[in-house]
Amino acid sequence: MYEVAIICPNNALATGITGVIDILNVANTLAGKQIFSWQLVGIEERKVFTSQGLVLPCDKKLAELDRVDVMLWVGSQFQGSQSLWKSCQAYKPFKAHIVQLSEQSEHVIATCTAVSYLATSGFLDDYKVTSSWWLKSFYQRYFAQLNVSQEKIFLRDGKVLTSGAAQCYFSMMVYFVEQTCGAALADELSSWLAIPQLLTSQQSYMQIGAFEMHRDERLLSLQNYIKKNLSDALTLDTLAQQINLSERTLIRRFQKQVGLSPTQYVRLARLEYAKRLLRTTRMSVNEVAWQVGYQDVGSFKRVFKAQYGKTIIAYRQHFS
C-alpha cells in the first residue's frame, strides 16, 4: 500500500485536494483493495483554508510529518507573482525537513503553483519540472536555477512528477496510477471518471493577457503597441526602436519580465486575434491571415496548427 501525504497550502484549490482524493479512492474501489491511503497535511496548522472559503481539517502539520511513500503537493489559487513569492517564504523554515521527506519518499508530486513551494526547499534543483504555462516569467525571476519546461501537461523526471493547473493534474494522476498499479487499472480509472487524455503540450491554452502581469511600463506600452499593429511587419528592429532599446537588451528584458521572446509574444498575439476573427467574423482564411500580419497563408496555417493542435478549418467548425 502507498501512503500518500497531500500537502495543502492555504488558499488551495479545493478540487486540487478533493479531486486527487477522488482519484485515489476510485482506484482503490476498482482494484478491490486498498492500494492507496492518504492524509491531509497543513503547513502551520492542522487545517487548510481553500480559495473558495472552505475549511478542511488536516491530519498533521508539515513539521509533524514522518516518512511517507508519496509526497503530493497541491497548488493554490494564483493571485499574482508577488503574492506567490510571498507565500513561498512560509516554506523556508521547513527546508531541511522538506528535503529529507522528499529524499525518503518513493514518489514526489507537485501541481501548478505548488512546484514553487517545493522548489523553495532546493530539492527540485537537480530535476527537470513543468508547471502552469502562465508562471513562466515567475520562475525565470525567482527560481532561475530551475530547469522548467512549462510546455508539458505533466513531466516525470526520476521520482519527481510535476504538472500544470487543474485538468493537467487529473491526467498526471492517471499517469501516476499507471506507473504504480499498471495500465489496465489506469485505463479503467479514466473511463469511470471520464478523464480525457490531454494533449502533450500546454501551448494551446496560452493567452497573451497572462504575459502582461508585470510592472515594466516600457514593455507594457510595447505590448500594447504590438496588439494595435498586428498587420505590420513588427520586426525585432522595429520593436527595439519603438522603446529606444538595443535588440539584445529588448530580448533580455522581454524574457525576464514577460517569459517569452518578443518574437514569441508577437506570434501569440497574432494567433489569439486570429482565433477571435475566426470565431466572430465570416472573413476567409486568407483575409484573417493578412489581418493578423501573415502574408504567407500556408505559414499561417502551419503555425496555427502547431500552437493549437488543430487545423483552422476544424477550429472554425467548432463555432459554426
Q: List, for residues 230-255, the tens digit of each pLDDT value.
A: 999 999 999 999 999 999 999 999 98
C-alpha distance across the termini of the chain, in Å: 50
pLDDT band at 199 (very low <50, low <70, confident <90, very high): low
For residue 289, pLDDT beyond 70: yes
Winning range, highest mean pLDDT, from 102-106, 142-146, 164-168: 102-106
b/e string for 15-29 if b means 16 or more Cβ within 10 A?
bbbebbeebbeebbe
The pLDDT, as a whole number, for residue 24 is 97
For residue 151, pLDDT beyond 80: no
For residue 9, pLDDT beyond 70: yes
Quick one: what percent of the chain has pLDDT higher than 70?
99
The pLDDT, as a whole number, for residue 143 is 93
Residue 98 and residue 5 in contact, taking contact as beta carbons nearer than 8 Å = no
Q: What is the pTM of this model?
A: 0.82
Question: In sequence order, what are the residues at sequence separation of 6 or more whose Cβ sits closer than 8 angstroms to the Cβ of residue 129?
Answer: 110, 115, 119, 146, 147, 148, 149, 155, 157, 160, 162
Cα angle for residues 267, 273, 279 (degrees, 5° grid): 135
Average pLDDT, the chain: 92
